[in-house]
């Protein structure tokens, strides 16, 4: 890329020297030779681009407009203007491409997660290998200052990690033995020995980079409109320029006067400002979001964020921390340790946070579970030592005609039945995130309301909803119930659903915008959702909406400014009051100003 810019700059400088030299030459033939050489050097790229477009059967584009305009200027002996128009156009293109390149470079730096090599431990010796050659369960050594090459688990050492590239969080995170670490984080101090839990292709960094690289292909509706507009607009401009010359001449007007006005019209009409700056605006928006720890999959998703009607939130792991602990064990007719052993044995294959809490509370050896059945949204059914065990919510008990005790506990109640006889219950508690207490601030940025949907019992959901200030909530919802409820709201407007990205994958898929919370490294989260919050912080939804609003505002400013300037110069040109120099400003100058305007998205202060 650097070489490309150097070659372009050299061509521009040589062309400028030849053009300025021609102004001091009186001999017409020599003067023309200097101008023709200057024109040939500066316009080669434009002719090649136009030819490549024609090969692809794209006959009308801004390159063709510039070629027609400058050749016509030569035809009426406006040689200096012909060269100057092409020269200014290329200077403008050079600075425009430089601005675009630098913006992409800064965005890439924000997501600079790639690691090319890793320190592989083989027989207590360090061997430097390519990251792509490392396999799962390989042991890696990460020295201070190095990036962690692959997702893994610390087996030796302690340190602090810079996770800012992943989460946007500037505060280093402490890691010790048995802690999980993610690729792309920077080891700040101690030496870490890590057991790889991913390959290069399945690592968090690789998946994030893939999404960032693919994001420009998912175009917003505004981008699609500009692309279609340009295809129709360019032939209309060329035909209009021809008519602007022919019609006045048929009525006895001077050919040269109206031919010159047509040239002004052609140069003014180039759609470069819109074609370059609008896609760049969305790219900058996605880059700014990544800096804030928000991964947005494409410009279409970024655009949709600014026109939401409803924000629907899952409770567990989204509003609450999703880190459960057993706060009460109440067996009916057996010892507490045996009761816990039975419940944990039934839950041994489940990865649900509640199951993990029960297994962590149990201190006895797990018993073998047979005929295991995980009923999503209800609980577990299995056989342990020939007895049918049910572990789950009240809905599961009712389905199996098990009578439960009347319970008024703060937290999630998990019932246990043995051979359809009630055996007792456990109470699981979960804390509300600090960021969730400010969730009602989102009402400022959406048109209608905030809603909670949860599979938990009504008393628990009601308490959480009241504490965070949300009036509308739905409890005891199965995954299919959540899908139906979101579909119901979609009939009345655009819906954002935020969930944990694993259990709520179906709802994430059918929402207008699916947001996964606090699940960095989860395949289900990255695949199912449109937006991934890299840090477990609900307030980032508001940040994403603000960035979307800023981006949309810049896009509208760009469109209005570009079209307004062009319209004014076109009218002046038709009246004979503007020159080709003004036309060049209306094209190249406006393009450059529009690009500078959209680049401010990268550093504009956000409303916190």
Which residues are marked as active site? Answer: 314
Scanning the structure block, which residue is given the tokens 């890299």? 534
Q: How many CA within 13 A on the CB side of residue 392? A: 25
Q: What's the CA gap between 303 and 513, in Å, rounded?
A: 10
Give the Cα-Cα-Cα angle 541, 546, 549 (nearest 5 degrees). Answer: 130
> Token pair of 186, please?
């920077």
DSSP H or E run through 554: helix 540-574
Strand order in the sheet with 159-162: 173-175, 159-162, 186-187
DSSP state of 14: H
CB 25 within 8 A of CB 34: yes
- Between CA 467 and CA 61 the distance in angstroms is 58
CB 441, CB 485: distance < 8 Å: no
Per-position b or e across 305-322, b if 16+ CB within 10 A of its CB: bbbbbbbbbbbbbbbbbb
Residues 317 and 517 sit within 8 Å (Cβ to Cβ): yes
Burial class (CB within 10 angstroms; exposed 0-12, middle 13-18, buried 19+) of 36: middle
Burial 123-159 (b: 16+ CB within 10 A, else e): eeeeeebebeebeeebbbbbeeebbbbbbbebeebeb
Please give the Cα distance from 497 to 510 (Å, whole number). Answer: 9
* Local structure of residue 131 (DSSP, 8 states): G
Nearest CA among 6, 92, 12, 2 for reference residue 44? 12
What is the Cα Rg of the chain in Å? 32
SS3 (DSSP) at 13: helix
Angle of helix 62-75 relative to helix 221-250, nearest 10 degrees? 20
Give the whole-angstrom CA distance, residue 475 versus residue 459.
Answer: 8
E strands, 60-218, are 117-122, 125-130, 139-142, 152-156, 159-162, 173-175, 180-181, 186-187, 192-196
With vertex at residue 607, the alpha carbon angle to CA 604 and CA 608, rounded to the nearest 5 degrees, is: 120
| 411 Cβ neighbours under 8 A, 6+ residues apart | 327, 328, 427, 428, 429, 430, 460
Contact 268, 569 (CB under 8 A): yes
DSSP 8-state code for residue 514:
E
């Amino acid at each position: 890329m650097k070489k490309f810019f150097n070659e372009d700059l050299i061509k521009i400088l040589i062309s400028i020297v030849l053009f300025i030299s021609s102004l001091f030459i009186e001999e017409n033939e020599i003067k023309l030779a200097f101008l023709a050489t200057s024109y040939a050097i500066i316009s080669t790229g434009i002719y090649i681009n136009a030819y490549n477009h024609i090969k692809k059967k794209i006959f009308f584009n801004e390159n063709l407009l510039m070629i027609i305009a400058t050749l016509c200027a030569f035809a009426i002996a406006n040689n200096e203007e012909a060269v100057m128009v092409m020269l200014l156009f290329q200077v403008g293109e050079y600075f425009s491409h430089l601005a675009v390149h630098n913006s992409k470079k800064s965005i890439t730096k924000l997501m600079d997660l790639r690691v090319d090599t890793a320190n592989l431990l083989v027989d207590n010796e360090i061997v430097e290998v390519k990251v792509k050659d490392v396999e799962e369960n390989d042991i890696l050594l990460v020295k201070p200052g190095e990036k962690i090459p692959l997702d893994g688990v610390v087996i030796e050492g302690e340190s602090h990690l810079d996770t800012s590239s992943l989460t946007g969080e500037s505060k280093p995170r402490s890691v010790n033995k048995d802690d999980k670490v993610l690729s792309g984080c920077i080891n700040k101090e101690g030496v870490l020995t890590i057991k790889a839990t991913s390959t290069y292709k399945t690592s968090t960094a690789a998946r994030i980079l893939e999404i960032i690289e693919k994001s420009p292909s998912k175009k917003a509706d505004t981008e699609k409109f500009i692309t279609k507009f340009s295809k129709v607009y360019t032939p209309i401009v060329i035909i209009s320029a021809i008519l602007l010359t022919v019609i006045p001449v048929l009525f006895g007007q001077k050919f040269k006067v109206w031919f010159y006005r047509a040239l002004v019209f052609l140069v003014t009409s180039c759609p470069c400002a819109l074609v370059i700056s609008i896609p760049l605006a969305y790219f900058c928006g996605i880059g700014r979001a990544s800096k804030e720890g928000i991964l947005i999959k494409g410009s279409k998703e970024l655009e949709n964020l600014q026109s939401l009607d409803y924000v629907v939130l899952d409770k567990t792991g989204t509003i609450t921390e999703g880190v459960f602990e057993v706060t009460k064990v109440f067996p009916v007719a057996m010892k507490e340790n045996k009761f816990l052993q039975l419940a944990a044995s039934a839950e041994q294959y489940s990865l649900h946070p509640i199951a993990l809490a029960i297994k962590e509370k149990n201190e006895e050896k797990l018993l073998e579970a047979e005929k295991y059945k995980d009923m999503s949204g209800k609980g577990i059914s299995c056989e342990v030592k020939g007895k049918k065990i049910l572990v789950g919510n009240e809905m599961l008990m009712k389905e199996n005609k098990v009578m439960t005790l009347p319970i008024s506990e703060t937290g999630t109640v998990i019932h246990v039945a043995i051979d359809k006889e009630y055996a007792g219950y456990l109470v699981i508690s979960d804390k509300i995130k600090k960021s969730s207490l400010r969730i009602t601030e989102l009402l400022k940025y959406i048109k209608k309301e905030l809603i909670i949907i949860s599979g938990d019992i009504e008393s628990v959901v009601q308490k959480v909803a009241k504490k965070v200030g949300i009036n509308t909530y739905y409890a005891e919802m199965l995954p299919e119930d959540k899908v139906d409820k979101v579909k119901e709201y979609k009939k009345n407007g655009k819906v954002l659903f935020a969930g944990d990205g694993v259990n709520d994958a179906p709802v994430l898929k059918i929402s207008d915008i699916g947001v996964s919370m606090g699940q960095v490294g989860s395949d289900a989260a990255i695949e199912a959702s449109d937006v991934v919050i890299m840090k477990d912080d609900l307030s980032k939804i508001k940040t994403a909406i603000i960035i979307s609003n800023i981006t949309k505002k810049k896009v509208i400013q760009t469109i209005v400014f570009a079209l307004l300037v062009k319209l004014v110069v076109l009218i002046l040109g038709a009246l004979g009051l503007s020159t080709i120099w003004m036309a060049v400003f209306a094209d190249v100058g406006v393009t450059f100003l529009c690009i500078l305007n959209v680049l401010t998205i990268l550093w504009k202060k956000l409303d916190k």
